[in-house]
Amino acid sequence: MTDRDSWPADWNVERLHADHAQALRISREFYDSATEHQRIRVFENPTFGRIMTLDGVVQVTEADNFIYHEMLTHVPILAHGAARRVLIVGGGDGGMAREALKHASVEQVTMVEIDGGVVEFCKEYLPGISAGAFDDPRLDLVIADGADFMRQNADLYDVIIVDSTDPVGPGEVLFTDTFYGHAKARLAPGGILVTQNGVPFLQGEELTNTMRAFRALFADATCYLATIPTYAGGPMALGWGTDGAARGVDLATLSARFAASGIETDYYTPEVHLGAFALPPYVSRLIG
């Protein structure tokens, strides 16, 4: 096997972590260029289908995105029970908007994405991820820095989803106490903030920092878990913050809401929802 710096050219080697890399074979390259914010690459892998990376880090794949997008939308929306207005920060591939808009009860989804190039390239090269979400009249797409939007916006939302890159480059501002404080101010009563919070086995400090900020802001601050194969290193932590009682919703209520939604899923079920909050000690120790 080649050493880490001489992988064959037809492999994409993700170097997000100091001591761990993820390599994906490129069976076909569609795009590889930079916007003012980041390098966008779209290629195909025989197992995961089309893949987008930003600055070399896997963001979304055709094959496993359903896990991440279902768990960051249906968990807060069904736990809330009456979510009408949803805010997505990031989410340029459109997968988060796709799943949120499946809820007929959701009247508006505002999506604040810093890089219009990601939206355009995903529409062209990964149309199956957004699956028409960008054409839904309930979607309001804003091209802006999510941190600026959160500071300046005056609207209130029932669910806020931070679907950002990792805390490097443009995504870094979305992992700060200031940003979380501004997000809390944008939550309607009973509103829920959920966040992409990395893979705790390899990015434990990121989760610890977010949970420290959430505990200072919310009556209920925790995370829940979902395992997405191409977010390598084990289960991913999804941050959860609210002053409401939504996490206490019982299985019967969740099941009735899920049935009423008429949404078909490939990962989410009410049982998976409740089970996702059962944290193993190595994670619960990280959140304090």
Residue with the two structure tokens 């890399």: 21
Please list the alpha-helical segments (H only) found in the chain: 65-80, 95-100, 116-125, 127-130, 146-152, 177-185, 200-217, 251-261, 270-276, 281-287
Stretch that binds ligand SAM, among 17-25, 141-149, 209-217, 242-250 (CB under 6 A): 141-149
Residue among 64, 93, 115, 163 flagged as catalytic: 163
Residue 238 or residue 279: which is nearer to ligand SAM going by CB? 238
Looking at 62, 136, 145, 177, which residue binds ligand SAM (CB under 6 A)? Answer: 145
DSSP 87-102: EEEE-TTSHHHHHHTT
The tokens for 7 are 């992988």
Torsion of CA 223, 228, 230, 235, to 10 degrees: 50
One character per residue 39-68, x = contact with ligand SAM (rule: CB under 6 A): ---------------x----xx-------x
Q: CA angle, corner 89, sides to 281 and 82, nearest 5?
A: 80
Looking at 55, 64, 113, 206, which residue binds ligand SAM (CB under 6 A)? Answer: 113
CA separation (Å) from 117 to 123, 144, 208, 247? 10, 12, 32, 36
| Binding of residue 276 to ligand SAM (CB under 6 A) | no
Looking at 23, 173, 263, 274, which residue binds ligand SAM (CB under 6 A)? Answer: 173
Shortest Å, Cβ 253 to ligand SAM? 29
Amino acid, single-letter form, for residue 101:
L
| Sheet of 28-34, strand order | 28-34, 39-45, 49-54, 57-61
| Binding of residue 243 to ligand SAM (CB under 6 A) | no
Looking at 16, 45, 50, 92, which residue binds ligand SAM (CB under 6 A)? Answer: 92
| Binding of residue 171 to ligand SAM (CB under 6 A) | yes
Specify whether 5 is catalytic: no
The residue number with the shortest CB distance to ligand SAM is 92
| Binding of residue 174 to ligand SAM (CB under 6 A) | yes
Residues involved in catalysis: 163
**Interface residue list for ligand SAM (CB under 6 A):** 54, 59-60, 68, 89-93, 112-115, 118, 145-147, 163-166, 170-171, 173-174, 196
